[in-house]
Structure 1
Amino acid sequence: MGKYFGTDGFRGEANVGLTADHAYTVGRFLGWYYGELKRQKGDTSAPKVVIGKDTRRSSYMFEYSLVGGLVASGADAYLLHVTTTPSVAYVARVDDFDCGVMITASHNPFYDNGIKIINGNGEKMDEDTIALIESYIDGHLEAFGKKWDTIPFATKDAIGQTVDYVSGRNRYIGYLISLGLYSFKGMKVGLDCANGASWNVAKSVFDALGATTYVIGDAPNGTNINNNAGSTHIEGLQKFVVEKGLDVGFAFDGDADRCLCVDERGNVVSGDHILYVYGKYMKDRGELVNNTVVTTVMSNFGLYKAFDEAGIGYAKTAVGDKYVYEYMTKNNCILGGEQSGHIIFSKYATTGDGILTSIKMMEVMLARKKKMSELISPLVIYPQVLVNIRVTDKTKAQNDPEVRAKVDEVAQSLGNTGRILVRESGTEPVVRVMVEAEDKATCQELVDSVIRVIKERGYEAH
């Protein structure tokens, strides 16, 4: 993980942790770097960078700052305006862009923002390029075999330009519609757009596919993104689905790369449920390549038991859709994702795509002629207790022999009736202790026993 860029971009409070100057600097680097890559190959054409943003008030500031840096370095900036992260990935890939940038802080509150950088294949940018950007921000860039105290400005006709590219977003909407294998006619569907990037995309897709569409969270004002709305506050959609008598509901996050569902009874359908429902659907059709669904270590123990019963194999990666996608690419897997609703269908997309996920779940309902509650019923989600403890040293706390012995003891006592997971936070001085078991009291008791040893060994930070 980098100094500025985490697993999901450069994120921070707008003009506090992430400033307009940062955005300008990133733009300057990207415009110059991709121009230099072209020049090394004898190509003098301007680099092309496509940019999208979510509905945060600060997204305009970051967009203009980023564009200023890009064109100053000689790149042409193509603006999709308010759109989803997966749409930027799609357009970058199919329209031959050098890279794409999405301005978003995803599910965070409105006062945060972020910069996600996507390569020309529509994938998250590689670590080597991210490291170069961070070096440039810190003023000690080494690239192309030399040190750069400053990078040159473009001059005369080499200065870049901006291009209104809303047509790219419209083509993405058309692409999503083309993936609907069944008519949604007769289906009453609720959508919660989180007052975010999907507000002007999702309803168009569902309407075009024939659904009777009911929408909430579709009135962004710059400060209400994710505010008691969307996949991180799904209780609003639960109530909405029941009150309106809808067949199903889908909730997206701020940049619409996540989707959670609500069944017709108002029950939450998590990312684990989605992986089970679609994995079993693919398995039954003989289409689950390598018979493997890719999960993260945070997926529920119940999901693995259900996969075992269905004869479906699985892999576990570190937390982060980036790691899920990397594993899928290396091992030729077509379905993977996270409990939080980042689901990747690699046949159709290079990133988690909330609207695509909702279309694929509709497909299963219509193909099987079943309600969502029936599709998820074989999956029993185990109770879970997760406790975070602030520590003086994450590595020492986890590797302490007495802590390890207690963790092993808990794992042995659970056997095949649950599991324990101890891992460090990627961003805080915190160790997370999580237990899943058949009842909540057992979870709490076992978590407490591990936390007690960590404290007794003197690792707790005060």
Structure 2
Amino acid sequence: MARKFFGTDGIRGRTNTGVMTAATVMRVGQAAGTHFLRGGHRHRVVIGKDTRLSGYMMESALVAGFTSVGMDVVMTGPLPTPAIALLTREMRADLGVMISASHNPYEDNGIKLFGPDGFKLSDESEAAIELLLGQEPLLVGAERIGRARRIDDARGRYIHAIKQSVATDIRFDGLKVVVDCANGAAYQVAPSAIWELGAEVIAMGVEPNGININRDVGSTSLDAIKARVVEEGAHIGIALDGDADRLIVVDEIGRTVDGDQIMALIASRMLDKGVLTGGGVVATVMSNLGLERYLESIGLTLERTKVGDRHVLERMKEGGFNVGGEQSGHMILLDHATTGDGTVAALRVLASLVRSGKPASALLHVFDPVPQVLKNVCYAGGRPLDNAAVKQVIAEAEAELAGKGRLVIRPSGTEPVIRVMAEGDDAAQVEAVVDRICAAVRDAA
């Protein structure tokens, strides 16, 4: 069935248009609530959000939708996406909802859904909810309408839980850490957790006003944190995105450390301790060939999936892996969380920094990445990748890179953009290949 609502990571769009109107969001609550009404117990949903202005509207619409089909609602206020996954499971809820468009600008918003086990929904559950969205909602009688309440201790619960990912003999005393929370969901919890473990914390991106989430701060806008790390003489910088499910690190000399290097570090440390499972790491087709070569050199495999942390997680569960993620910074550590958690990954990196005694620039340069170029081409409509001329250019590029590199071309699941990525040992060749394909896609679009 074609998807009208769900994309690669829940439902997402421009606020007050399309699927992100209050009326549609209320219907999503009714459909999701109906799907998870199972058994005779009193049903419960946990709702969290990031700091977008539209979160108030969407939260109210979801509360109306869930209560109208007989679900009780617990609201947490601004919290990271992984915190909602955790609380859903801890509170024995039937469903968890995170209101966030992740790294997108404030004008967008979205809905991420978690099942009672704290994991994102399967394709089958999303399809069932899509089906219910096309039907009249099954409203309950007046006596069965759900109740709603806010809880005040959600932040403390989450901070306590994520600190358990760090061994009890580790303290961050002596570390100076810049923490950029993107004016998003982690603006209170991430600096607090790192400070409680002993670090000197320099917090930025912690003044949300509803419209500045991800604006010139956070994991997708690194200039500010790079400058701050160098200016403050910090040991390391931690950059999260709007809902804090991804992490990018900045080393002490202001260089970017992406998700591939973070996965390599965490996996190799866990291998040394004998706690890595699955015989390798799960990542997406976007991860650098250098990561794959490095893992092979230490006897591990790199399993690749389609882009999207949900696909990574599915493969991890199938193959018994406990480390996976994306180059863009989603880090899934299944021993500690059911979804990507940027703050947990940051704590693990900081713990390794303490244990190693090395500077971040040395610790986090685990492998030499091969030259990789990623460019985006915006398009207004249609299917540019189906164009015959585009197909011909892609086929020629694949033949040129055969045995020497990789080519990955895909439409974004969240915006009208074609992503063109190539990598290989010859940097000039990789750049030229990407430029030719981008030009062909622009002509077709």
Q: TM-score, normalised by structure 1?
A: 0.89
**Counterpart code for 2:409:** V
User: Quick check: 1:370 aligned with 2:353?
Assistant: no
Q: Equivalent residue of 1:166, what SS?
A: coil
Measure, in 2, the Cα distance between the counterparts of 1:398 and 1:319.
Answer: 25
**Secondary structure in 1 matching 2:153:** helix
Alignment check: 8 A CA contact 2:159 2:193 kept: yes
Q: 1:284 Cα shift?
A: 2.1
**What amino acid maps onto 1:273 in structure 2?**
Q
Matched, 1:422 2:409: yes
Decide which of 377, 391, 396 is 1:406's aligned counterpart. 396
Alignment partner, residue 86 of structure 2: 90
Q: Work out the CA distance in 2 between the residues paired with 1:366 and 1:348.
A: 20
Query: Which amino acid counterpart does residue 234 of structure 1 have in structure 2?
Result: L
- Write the mapping of 1:165-176 to structure 2, written as runs, cut at 5 A: 165-176=151-162
Residue 168 of structure 1 and its aligned partner are, at CA, apart by 3.3
The answer as to 2:111 corresponding to 1:124 is no
What CA distance in whole angstroms lies between the structure 2 residues aligned with 1:425 and 1:75? 34
RMSD: 2.3
Q: Distance in 2 between matches of 1:249 and 1:79?
A: 31
Matches within 5 A, 1:304-319: 304-319=292-307
Tell whether 2:327 aligns with 1:326. no
**Aligned to 1:30, what secondary structure does the other structure show?**
helix
Flag the 1:161–1:399 CA change in 2: closer, same or farther, 3 A: farther
User: Which amino acid in structure 2 is aligned with residue 104 of structure 1?
Assistant: S
Q: Percent identity?
A: 39
The structure-2 alpha-carbon separation of the partners of 1:84 and 1:409, relative to structure 1 and needing over 3 Å to count, comes to same
2:234 equivalent to 1:246:
yes
TM-aligned CA distance change 1:66 to 1:150, over 3 Å: closer
Contact 2:239 2:249 in 1 (8 A): yes
Counterpart CA distance in 2 for 1:74 and 1:294 is 39
Find out whether 1:435 has 2:425 as its counterpart.
no
Partner of 1:144: none
How far off is 1:302 after superposition?
1.8
Q: Is 2:56 aligned against 1:60?
A: yes
Q: Return the alpha-carbon distance in structure 2 between the equivalents of residues 203 and 319 of structure 1.
A: 29
Q: Tell me if 1:261 matches 2:263.
A: no
Residue 224, structure 1, aligned to residue 212, structure 2? yes
Q: What are structure 2's unaligned runs of at least 5 residues?
A: none
Q: Which has the larger radius of gyration?
A: 1
1:139-178 paired onto structure 2 within 5 Å? 139=135, 149-156=136-143, 158-178=144-164
Residues 35, 128 of structure 2: 8 Å contact kept:
no
Change (3 A) 1:436 1:171: same
Alpha-carbon offset, residue 393 of structure 1: 4.4
Change in CA separation of 1:160 and 1:190 when aligned onto 2, cut-off 3 Å? same
CA distance in 2, matches of 1:163, 1:236: 38
1:86/1:150 CA distance change after superposition, 3 Å: closer
Match of 2:107 in 1: 111
Kept in 2, the 8 Å contact 1:392–1:461? The answer is: no
Quote the residue 1:146 is aligned against.
none
Answer whether contact 1:102 1:116 (CA < 8 A) is retained.
yes
Aligned length: 439
Give the secondary-structure state (helix, strand or coil) at the position aligned to 1:197: coil
* Offset from partner CA, 1:239-264 (integer Å, 9 cap, x none): 11110011111000000001111111
Which structure would you say has the larger RCO, counting Cα contacts within 8 Å and 6 or more residues apart?
2
CA 95–401 in structure 1, closer or farther in 2 if over 3 Å, else same: closer
- Paired with 1:206 and 1:376, the residues of 2 have a C-alpha distance of 19
Q: 1:208 to 1:31 in 2, by over 3 A?
A: same
Q: CA deviation at 1:301?
A: 1.7
- The structural deviation recorded for 1:394 is 5.5
List aligned pairs for 1:383-402, cutoff 5 A. Answer: 383-388=371-376, 393=383, 396-397=386-387, 402=392
**Which one-letter code corresponds to 2:88 in the other structure?**
A
Give SS of 2:400's match: helix
Residues 407-453 of structure 1: per-residue CA shift (max 9 Å, x gap): 442123xx34x33233444467765442213343221223345567x
Deviations 1:135-172 (A, max 9, x none): 33333xxxxxxxxx44123312x221112223233211
Closer, same or farther in 2 for the Cα pair 1:444/1:174, shift >3 Å?
A: same
Report the residue type matching 2:105 in the other structure.
P
From 14, 23, 26, the counterpart of 2:25:
23
Distance 1:392 1:113, change over 3 A: closer
- Structure 1 unpaired stretches of 5+: 140-148
